[in-house]
């Protein structure tokens, strides 16, 4: 079951109440959200973006029955503007972003996303890219590892873990997730391991974000998504950790504020906000949704509607 599926459909539905609406599923994955949208809205066309070729194979089979109402694109979601140009589209009516690693990627053990399976240190969402977790772990300087693990993993034992990695690789390169987990378990205090969940969880998150340049792509993607919306179009974004949510929140908030100078007596049209926020803060999943899909537990959903056009597409 896709995360917060019914709420996503509910939020997007008003934007699809027009002739031949188009939505971008910016994180196609296995195609669960796309399938639900195509079923629920019979005149809708979905452009499904994903950098993961395996996702395209699986989603393509799942969505084949919808014919040309489903249009797959192999790309990172920060390329939205180019994708619209390639398809000669002025804009789209909805954009859905389900951020982070997909359950499909976690389940494919040999790809090295999960700390619970022993597999090569890979973690690439796009297997055609060169940077892998093995390169990061074995070639980055200790201070770089410390920064990544602390910043992207929000890991308070980042210094110990970075030092432990450097000391371990001095004997021989770390090649598998199991070897990395052993290093982390060896340096994180036993008391913290008992209280804070799996000790490798935050480090694996940090490495995945670094390998796939996730936050840099997201910082470009959210403004691009806002620009791509038609008037009345809606953006729905789900994030799973605070760094993602902060980027989404700030990008939406910036466009939902008036740009009128402080104390200006009249708000001119050019100063009016571009977006209207349609969720109260970050919406959490319901208890039922968490029971149906444990991955939803950390989800935060934000949505906004385009209420003013500021850019004419070329």
Binding residues: 31-33, 50, 77, 98, 105
Round to whole Å and give the CA distance between 232 and 60.
29
- Concatenating the DSSP letter of every residue in 226-281 gives HHHEEEEEEEEEEESSHHHHHHHHHHHHHHTS--PPTT-SS--GGGS-SEEE-SSS
Distances in Å between the alpha carbon of 283 and those of 4, 52, 162?
10, 28, 35
In whole angstroms, what is the distance from residue 239 CA to residue 237 CA? 7
Q: Which residues are part of a known binding site for S-adenosyl-L-methionine? A: 31-33, 50, 77, 98, 105
Residue 274: both structure tokens together: 């571009």
Range list of β-strands (E), 86-168: 92-98
Q: Which residues pair with 305 in a beta bridge?
A: 234, 276
User: In angstroms, what CA-CA distances link 81 with 9, 31, 230?
Assistant: 24, 22, 13
Residue 119 and residue 108: Cα distance in Å, rounded?
A: 10
226 in Cβ contact with 313 (< 8 Å):
no
In 10 A of CB 61, how many CB atoms? 11
- φ/ψ (deg, to 5) at 154: 50, 45
- Taking the CA atoms of the chain, what radius of gyration do you get in angstroms? 21
Distance, in Å, from the CA atom of 117 to the CA atom of 105, rounded to the nearest integer, reads 12
Longest dimension (CA), the chain: 69
C-alpha 150 chain-centroid distance: 20
């Amino acid at each position: 079951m896709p995360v917060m599926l019914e709420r996503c459909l509910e939020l997007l539905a008003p934007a699809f109440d027009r002739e031949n609406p188009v939505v971008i599923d910016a994180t196609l994955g296995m195609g669960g959200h796309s399938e639900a949208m195509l079923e629920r809205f019979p005149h809708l066309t979905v452009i499904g973006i994903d950098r993961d070729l395996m996702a395209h194979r699986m989603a393509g089979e799942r969505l084949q029955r919808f014919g040309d109402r489903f249009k797959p694109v192999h790309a990172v979601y920060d390329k939205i503007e180019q994708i619209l140009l390639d398809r000669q589209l002025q804009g789209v009516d909805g954009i859905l972003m389900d951020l982070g690693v997909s359950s499909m990627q976690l389940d494919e053990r040999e790809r090295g996303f999960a700390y619970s399976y022993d597999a090569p240190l890979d973690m690439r969402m796009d297997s055609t890219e060169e940077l892998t977790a093995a390169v990061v772990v074995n070639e980055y300087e200790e201070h770089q590892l410390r920064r990544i693990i602390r910043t992207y993993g929000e890991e308070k034992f980042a210094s110990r873990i970075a030092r432990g990695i450097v000391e371990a690789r001095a004997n021989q390169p770390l090649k598998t997730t199991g070897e990395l987990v052993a290093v982390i378990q060896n340096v994180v205090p036993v008391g913290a391991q008992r209280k804070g969940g799996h000790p490798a969880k935050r480090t694996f998150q940090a490495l995945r974000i670094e390998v796939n340049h996730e936050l840099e792509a997201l910082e470009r993607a959210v403004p691009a998504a806002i620009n791509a919306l038609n008037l009345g179009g809606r953006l729905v974004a789900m994030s799973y950790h605070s760094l993602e949510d902060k980027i989404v929140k700030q990008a939406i908030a910036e466009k939902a504020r008036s740009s009128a100078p402080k104390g200006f007596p009249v708000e001119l049209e050019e100063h009016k906000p571009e977006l209207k926020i349609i969720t109260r803060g970050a919406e959490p999943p319901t208890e039922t949704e968490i029971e149906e899909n444990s991955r939803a537990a950390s989800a935060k959903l934000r949505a906004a509607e385009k209420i003013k056009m500021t850019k004419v597409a070329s």
